[in-house]
Copies of this chain bind each other. A is one copy, B any other.
């Protein structure tokens, strides 16, 4: 793994602090200091403008556009027009001048730069002293996005000086924003200056979504001018700083994703909300947010005693997950970069169900259900996608924001089915925890049946009909493209078939009418049974090894440790096809299904397969190390567990992959949570009864994590000597170190 730590932030339990401006990390900091409230996100860029490297990104969950150009060589089944979450209104924009000097931290003379993000409130602030020709000016910026009323966003700017300094400030709402620095996808509908409120109303070019932004400024200073430009509204102030002067900007941003409201209706709503927001004020908003986060930490905090860096790191992960997604709306999802950048196009991947869902399953039922509802609500698109692939049923996209396939690389979009099997796995996982029969009957069953239809029609029998499987696929390991009988795909498909067959067997649900609704032919169930029975699973009982796909064991060997660091990332340094014809793997594939269905496999099977596949893995995906760490914990390989864990909580804070500048690795930080809870905590949730088998790193005094289990709150505290369980709520049954217990309140056991 060619990863190294690039530390520059202060260590603090609940804060991210940058002391002194690290210009060489300007874009990295923009990502790290991103704010979000699921509805929207904004990068920690400098509101006054910055002439150095910067990505001035502001994103709204579900506001997206289509590519201006069609994909070249778009054969049937290849996505012609991809889509992506677009850069949207810059609602913090301002310009600050002292005399003829424009504030620009790339060139200005400053000191006492301090920036911090408070994870107990979501308050972001930045302050410094600017040495102007006319004297020193202390400026402090604050930003806050409401976690309770998602439209409410706030900025505060304070000026102080020991001399009388003339200052010019303008506040802008600006939709002249470029996506990828190239194209603006917004067009103006209306601009508004009315009763000291300033607004712009813009809509997207082809998706016809709209965004209403309205602001009001609170200050003792009165503006001397205001005006509108194309897609921009500006308010200007001039004043002398001879005391503390403060400006509070209250902004209401309302998305109309379906463009279903009139301008006048949106205007009225925004005005009402803005009046209420101004009335509430900064202090009250801060208090609301503090209360919100109090609840979050109460149910989700992980405490690590004896490791301040990982303590800060894991809290940052939890904080960013909460900012990105907490189930506020059914049509939101979790982009690979959250709402912190344009890379990965704001798309949700299989990461949502496979890497992120567990965090929500154990803290926020509504959020976990809504992640599934996103898939239910985009089922029609998945059905269309299946048709494009000449199949029946539903094929969930590899990358999407609106339910349509958003990846125009056919080698991924047409060959990878872990999104589809992952959705069914997620339903099963959700059902393990919540036994939500209504969900299953109303939504789950239909998804499962449609996915089964897809998997049945995409699968093929081999020439003599002795085996069923998948030809021409790519499993999670994206370094093995277009292979036959990828064991992950086959195993997950079999599990999907079997799950539906079990549901039919259970008689808990009205499957018959759902099969009818889905238009399944009479032979469907028998077809499923036969396909499941004949599913090709390449397994050698002697060596206990699963073969990743047909022919994998014969592939030329590459010693991954001999690959020079300068070759990474391989996609940039190796000829494209060269990546695909060795026994090197990018991320867990066999180990992945062995993790997901952990209880299906013996210790020996896990050991053998880990020892075979781990040395072949280069972890080019940031999702990879945590899964390996979880295995290493279970297999008692603590050095390796630590090695793979090392950077998981601080992947972004210390910019291990050197690409945090593009946005934070939102789905990977979910894997950091899993690394602690599933890895060190030894949690297993692939069966109805939970299992725990905690271990602890020798350098940690103790750690604890919290889970919501079947509605009850469980706190697991692990020291070097013992494990302590504390339950608040109804008793639960679980297994700890292979011992079945019924936990009523507390339980203590020696650590094994």
Contacts and interface: CB of A to CB of B under 8 A. Distances in A.
B72 A463 contact: no
Given A408-B72, A581-B460, A414 B555 contact: no
A577 B71 contact: no
A484 interface: yes
Nearest to A77: B575
A394 B156 CA distance: 64
A554 B72 CA distance: 33
Contact of A75 (B75, B576, B583): B576
Contact of A484 (B71, B472, B551): B551
A414 B76 contact: no
A705 B363 CA distance: 84
B76 A462 contact: no
A580 interface: yes
B556 A77 contact: no
Given A482-B481, A577-B389, A580-B482, A461 B71 contact: no
Contacts of A460: 556, 581-582
A578 B482 contact: no
Contacts of A462: 554-556
Contact of A580 (B73, B472, B583): B472
A72 B410 CA distance: 13
A471 B410 contact: no
B463 A554 contact: yes
A160 interface: no
B551 A410 contact: no
A574 B463 contact: no
Interface residues of A, number: 45
Contacts of A410: 576-577
Most buried by B among A76, A410, A553: A76
A75 B582 CA distance: 18
A182 to B, nearest CB: 14
A674 B556 CA distance: 40
Interface in A564-579: 571-578
Contact of A555 (B408, B471, B557): B471
Contacts of A77: 575-578
A339 interface: no
B572 A76 contact: yes
Contact of A414 (B72, B463, B557, B577): B577
Interface in A218-234: none
A473 to B, nearest CB: 9
A724 interface: no
Given A580-B482, A581-B460, A575 B472 contact: no
Nearest to A536: B554
A256 interface: no
Contact of A556 (B391, B411, B463): B463
Contacts of A575: 76-77, 388-391, 414
A388 to B, nearest CB: 6
A573 B582 CA distance: 33
A550 interface: yes
A78 interface: yes
Most buried by B among A71, A409, A410, A482: A482
A415 interface: yes
Contacts of A472: 577, 580-581
A575 to B, nearest CB: 4
A71 B69 CA distance: 12
A561 B642 CA distance: 59
A410 B73 CA distance: 11
Contacts of A576: 75-78, 410, 414
Nearest to A483: B482
A39 B579 CA distance: 42
A303 to B, nearest CB: 44
Nearest to A462: B554
Nearest to A67: B72
Most buried by B among A410, A461, A577: A577
A555 B571 CA distance: 30
Nearest to A82: B72
Nearest to A583: B463
Contacts of A577: 77, 389, 410, 414-415, 472, 482
B408 A574 contact: no
A259 B721 CA distance: 83
A342 B368 CA distance: 54
A556 B553 CA distance: 22
User: Ordered nearest first, which 7 A-B pairs have the shortest CB separation?
Assistant: A77-B575, A471-B581, A472-B581, A460-B556, A75-B576, A390-B575, A414-B577
Given A391-B575, A461-B556, 5 more contacts: A460-B556, A462-B554, A463-B553, A463-B583, A472-B581
